[in-house]
């Protein structure tokens, strides 16, 4: 054991000891007291004569106590540190952050108990120890803190940790703990989990499982056909026995269809089926009518990916019949059609204002708008005048002597493959077309190596499909290919924001970002708001909580586009009493102890307080003759 001082200059205060002694030597020993009469004084001395031993040494005792006070104050300022070689340890805690750690019993979750267990170990460790906390999930280890030597800070950071609801990757967690053990084989490694491992070496397992019982919705499937939605839900038992009510809600309705799933034993699974008459739906919800240890797997919400898209379309054309009919027949889009004059005037024939923003698609037939829309895709038919930002130039009208046959392009890119899907490309003629100068484009039909129908992006990074001719100057609208091409163009112009709306916790949500998107706002089930970057074609966001995520895509000059997705708890986490095989650390590593440190001043302060209290008592005794 060695002694050192953090602030050695504090010992200068010991100079006060000889000063105090000198003051004691030279001070006047006599005190003047006033009494009523010499008679009373003599009587008092007569009765107290045998009790004057303490007053004789009271002055010396007070001096000793004051000298000790000066010495202790100097020590406290100097801050003494006692070092005990090899008395402290390095602690590495691997905390299970999986969804099953949210299981609750008697009002307290496993995760809360796990944090309490770690806090107790930290609090009871020798000063000088260092602490590392790793939150283990299915894909990564979040190092909450590493080699931290402050107990209070470690416990504070521990208190703020939350589980991720995903499964734990046991091998990855073990490898991470192994790296610390390899550096110091004397390190104490703890795995705090709710899994019972059959074998473990060089690691202490703290199992916080309390044999809780659970039931879960393990699988949901649905089919919409013939105006009827059929939903099947599988309910699995993890210790729950008996009849469990299953509720079905359609499109946010408060009225539920209730059915019963009968569970007879551990591992039993029952399937219930619901049917509802509907032409379409936005969402449906299934929930279990029971209270068990893990509520996070008792509800599943499913959103219709198609209902999450907006297909609002404005057609500007004096003859919109072909385009409007194709959109409505092939894709079901109810577009608003206005004439060129009405569009320029800003109101239709009924006097209703024509909004020039807020559409997902703008179709301009033989018309050049003054400016490009900023917030949606654009289709041009027979554009004869330049428009700033369209990404190509008008080079002139070409009128061949006879009708020319267009050639369908080979699908040599993903965009061309999508736009030409199922097209035949035969017997498509035009009698005149406009020659465009285009640098970057994906061609659909060509003539004489010139792009006649092509796709590109304009200056606002919105998708465009351009026809170098008017439909009235070709036979395209009469061909089966026209309906197919319109369908492909709609899918190209209205990419699904989400490929799917149902996920499992731990998965990545992929967002197909429209070109007009200026900001992405994601509200998590717990109400936390995230703003991932929006400059990538497909943005990824990890779903760490079960429940509904609301995604708002801010757009230029218009209201945000809102879509929903849901994540449900990973099915493996519903089994609350799992058994693992092995969690052992095998690396021999090196032996390296840490020095224990005692630098707590509280004991010195307590002793100082006691000494000052005794000195005050001696003073009062001497001053006021307290006997």
> Three-class SS of residue 431?
coil
Judging by DSSP bridges, how do beta strands 433-438 and 392-398 pair with one another?
antiparallel
Q: What is the mean pLDDT of residues 272-298?
A: 92
- Highest mean pLDDT among 161-170, 499-508, 526-535 belongs to 499-508
Q: Do domains 85-211+576-598 and 214-304 have the same CATH topology?
A: no
The CATH superfamily assigned to 502-571 is: Immunoglobulins (2.60.40.10)
* Least confidently predicted of 155-164, 292-301, 316-325: 155-164
CA dist list (Å): 402 to 210, 315, 399, 474, 482: 85, 30, 8, 12, 22
| Share of residues in the chain with pLDDT > 70 (%) | 86
pLDDT in tens, 77-133: 877 766 656 667 888 899 998 889 999 998 899 999 999 999 999 998 888 788 999
- For residue 48, pLDDT over 60 is answered with no
602 close to 59: Cβ distance less than 8 angstroms: no
CATH fold of 214-304: Immunoglobulin-like (2.60.40)
pLDDT for position 627 = 46
Alpha-carbon torsion, ordered 584, 587, 591, 597, to 10 deg: -50
pLDDT of residue 30: 58
Q: Is the pLDDT of residue 243 over 90?
A: yes
CATH architecture assigned to 313-493: 3-Layer(aba) Sandwich (3.40)
- Is pLDDT above 90 for 597? no
Whole-angstrom Cα distance, residue 119 to residue 91? 12
Spatial separation of the C-alpha atoms in residues 475 and 478, rounded to whole Å: 6
Burial (CB count within 10 angstroms: exposed 0-12, middle 13-18, buried 19+), residue 620: exposed
Q: What is the pTM of this model?
A: 0.63
Average pLDDT over residues 190-209: 90
Distance CA 19, CA 26 (A): 11
- 602-624 and 53-78 are packed helices; what angle lies between their axes, rounded to 10 degrees? 150
Enter the CATH code of domain 85-211+576-598. Answer: 3.40.50.410
Question: Which string of b and e fits 337-373 if b means at least 16 CB within 10 Å?
Answer: bbbbebbeeeebeeeeeeebeebbbbbbbbbebeebb
- Going across the sheet that includes 80-88, the strands are 2-5, 80-88, 594-598
Asked if 320 and 342 touch (Cβ cutoff 8 Å), the reply is no
- DSSP-based three-state secondary structure for 159: helix
Confidence of residue 310 (pLDDT cuts 50, 70, 90): low
Output DSSP code: residue 474: B
In 332-441 the beta strands, taken as DSSP E runs, fall at 336-338, 361-365, 377-381, 392-398, 404-405, 407-408, 429-430, 433-438
DSSP 330: I
- Please name the helix (run of DSSP H) or strand (run of DSSP E) that holds residue 172, with its range, or none: helix 170-183
Q: Which residues contact 387 (CB under 8 A, 6 or more apart)?
A: 368, 369, 370, 371, 372
Q: What is the pLDDT of residues 576-594, one digit of tens each?
A: 988 888 888 876 655 566 6
Looking at every residue in the chain, the average pLDDT score rounds to 85
Cβ contact 188:89 at 8 Å = yes
* 238: pLDDT strictly greater than 80: yes
Distance from C-alpha of 277 to C-alpha of 67, rounded to nearest angstrom: 93
Where does residue 158 rank: exposed (0-12), middle (13-18), buried (19+ CB within 10 A)?
buried
Does the structure show a pLDDT above 70 at 557? Answer: no
Residue among 485, 551, 515 nearest 373 (CA): 515
Condensed to tens digits (0 to 9), the pLDDT of residues 470-492 reads 999 999 999 999 999 999 999 88
Residue that wins the pLDDT comparison between 608 and 392: 392
Mean pLDDT, rounded, for 604-608: 81
The structural domains of the chain, with segments of one domain joined by +, span: 2-79+601-624, 85-211+576-598, 214-304, 313-493, 502-571
Give the whole-angstrom CA distance, residue 12 versus residue 380.
Answer: 90
Residue 430 in this model has a pLDDT that exceeds 60: yes
């Amino acid at each position: 054991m060695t002694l050192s001082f953090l602030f050695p200059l504090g010992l200068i205060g010991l100079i006060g000891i000889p000063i105090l002694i000198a003051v004691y030597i030279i001070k006047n020993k006599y005190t003047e007291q006033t009494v009523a009469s010499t008679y009373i004084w003599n009587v008092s001395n007569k009765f107290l004569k045998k009790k004057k031993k303490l007053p004789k040494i009271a002055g010396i005792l007070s001096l000793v106590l004051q000298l000790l006070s000066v010495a202790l104050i100097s020590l406290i300022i100097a801050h003494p540190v006692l070092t005990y070689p090899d008395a402290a340890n390095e602690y590495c805690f691997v905390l299970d952050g999986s969804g099953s750690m949210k299981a609750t019993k008697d009002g307290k979750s496993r995760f809360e108990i796990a944090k309490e267990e770690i806090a107790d170990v930290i609090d009871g460790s020798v000063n000088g120890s260092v602490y590392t906390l790793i939150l283990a999930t299915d894909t990564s280890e979040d190092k909450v803190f590493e080699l931290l030597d402050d107990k209070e800070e470690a416990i504070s950071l521990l208190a703020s940790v939350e589980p991720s609801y995903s499964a734990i990757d046991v091998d990855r967690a073990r490898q991470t703990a192994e790296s610390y053990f390899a550096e110091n084989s004397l390190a104490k490694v703890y795995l705090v989990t709710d899994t019972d491992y059959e074998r473990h070496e060089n690691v202490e397992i703290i199992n916080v499982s309390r044999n809780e019982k659970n039931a879960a919705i393990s699988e949901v499937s649905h089919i919409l056909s013939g105006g009827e939605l059929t939903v099947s839900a599988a309910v699995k038992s993890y210790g729950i026995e008996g009849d469990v009510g299953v509720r079905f809600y359609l499109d946010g309705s408060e009225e539920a269809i209730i059915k019963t799933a009968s569970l007879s034993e551990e591992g039993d699974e029952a399937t219930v089926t619901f049917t509802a008459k509907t032409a379409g739906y936005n969402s449906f919800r299934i929930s279990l009518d029971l209270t068990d240890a893990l509520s996070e797997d008792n509800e599943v919400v499913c959103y219709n990916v198609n209902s999450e898209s907006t297909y609002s379309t404005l057609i500007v054309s004096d003859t919109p019949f072909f385009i409007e009919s194709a959109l409505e027949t092939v894709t079901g889009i109810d577009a608003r059609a206005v004439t060129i004059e009405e569009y320029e005037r800003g109101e239709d024939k009924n006097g209703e204002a024509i909004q020039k923003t807020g559409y997902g698609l703008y179709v301009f037939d033989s018309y050049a708008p003054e400016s490009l829309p900023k917030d949606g895709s654009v289709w041009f038919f027979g554009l004869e005048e330049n428009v700033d930002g369209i990404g190509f130039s008008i080079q002139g009208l070409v009128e061949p002597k006879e009708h020319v046959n267009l050639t369908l392009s080979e699908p040599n890119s993903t965009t061309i493959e999508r736009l030409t899907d199922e097209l035949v490309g035969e017997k498509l003629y035009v009698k005149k077309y406009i020659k465009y100068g285009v640098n970057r484009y994906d061609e659909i039909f060509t003539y004489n190596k010139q792009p006649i129908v092509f796709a590109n992006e304009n200056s606002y990074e919105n998708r465009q499909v351009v026809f170098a001719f008017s439909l009235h100057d070709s036979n395209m609208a009469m061909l089966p290919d026209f309906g197919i091409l319109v369908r492909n163009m709609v899918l190209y112009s209205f990419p699904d924001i989400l490929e799917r709306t149902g996920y499992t916790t731990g998965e990545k949500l992929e967002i197909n970002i429209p070109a007009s998107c200026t900001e992405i706002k994601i509200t998590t089930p717990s109400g936390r708001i995230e703003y991932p970057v929006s400059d990538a074609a497909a943005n990824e966001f990890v779903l760490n909580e079960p429940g509904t995520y609301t995604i708002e895509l801010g757009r230029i000059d218009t209201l945000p586009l809102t879509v929903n997705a849901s994540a449900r708890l990973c099915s493996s986490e519903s089994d609350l009493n799992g058994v693992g095989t092995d969690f052992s650390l095998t690396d021999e590593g090196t032996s390296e102890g840490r020095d224990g440190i005692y630098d707590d001043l509280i004991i010195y302060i307590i002793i100082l307080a006691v000494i000052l209290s005794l000195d005050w008592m001696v003073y009062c005794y001497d001053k006021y003759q307290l006997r």
